[in-house]
Amino acid sequence: MTQLDLDGLRILVTGGLGFVGSNLTERAIRAGAHVTVLDDMTVGRPENVDEALQYRLVPGSVTDQDLVSKLVKDADYVAHLAARNIIVSTANPRSDYDVNIGGTLNVLMAAREHGTRQVVYSSSASVYGNPQSLPISEYERTKTFSPYSVSKLAGENYCRAFYESYGVPATAVRYSNVYGPKQDPQNPYCGVVSKFMEAFHEGRRPQIHGDGQQTRDFTYVDDAVDATLLAMLSPKAEGTVFNLGTGIETSVNDLVTLIARLMVSDIEPVHVAHRDIDNIRRRVLNIERIRTRLRWLPQISLTEGLRRTVRWFESTVEQHTPNATAPSES
């Protein structure tokens, strides 16, 4: 991981109990920051953050303008990760609009009012749709095929507009298929990596939508967190959007094969119909901009990242499995 000195910095993390958010929260605390987390508990859980770490938890939503303003006022930096994900957004576009667009506007208005040193906004590679060329650079034309991608792009545009119009130091990072520890397979909205691991563990055949030749750029969560914090801290990031991935294209078929090998399973996956959402054929990101401007490169290979995730998954399953030798209740 990148060596970061956050000693004494006050950081507000919206969505700080979710998958990426909880990893970022822990990382910031361990680097010396004073962290406040705002989370509405829709998918985030307090147990996602190590109970030995000290931070301030404020239950609530980014849609609450007064609460957001109060918390931003007390922060030096804001990592804005709160959002409705692609599945929830597709099912309820009104909630998507309120949280992903309205919540982002609340954060930026508060940052303008209180002189926040920097806001980093978590966007998504879904804004590219089906790209014309690979790997996808930040110059690629955006194509918004879902309510989620619409709202994520709107958040980016608001960051840019507040930077250009009001001088608010804001940047956006476009995540690409982030995976790793704390991506709970019990959460119906979690990513495919956790779903595959759960299926293998339970002796079920993992389901692959379509032929499995669709590709993605899978990014380990520690790398995503490091890049997000670097973008939050660097003046070179202001007013800019960065791709955040690995630059390596992996098919879903190859992904499930690798997970099976790491979990020592000979269960064969089953192919099912295409999904109506995120139906993108190929995705791999060009990460040259973040490499040259912020001197960031991913450190964890897919094999190593999956190995760490399997280790976390199996330890979590063991913690929640009743002791078979314990006496039964009468």
Please enumerate, as own/partner, the contacts of 326-330 that have beta carbons within 8 Å and a separation of 24 or more: none
Q: What count of Cα atoms within 13 Å lies in the side-chain half-sphere of residue 101?
A: 15
Concatenated DSSP letters for 147-167? HHHHHHHHHHHHHHHHHHHH-
Catalytic site includes residue 166: no
Strand positions, DSSP E, 64-191: 77-80, 118-124, 170-175, 178-179
Tokens standing for residue 19: 């998958």
Q: Which of 1, 153, 15 is nearest to 78 (CA)?
A: 15
Return the DSSP state at 273. P
Helix (H) or strand (E) holding 242: strand 241-244
Instruction: Give backbone dihedrals phi and psi of 135, rounded to 5 degrees, phi first.
Output: -65, 160
Q: Which of 55, 148, 158, 163 is catalytic?
A: 148
Q: Which residues are catalytic?
A: 148
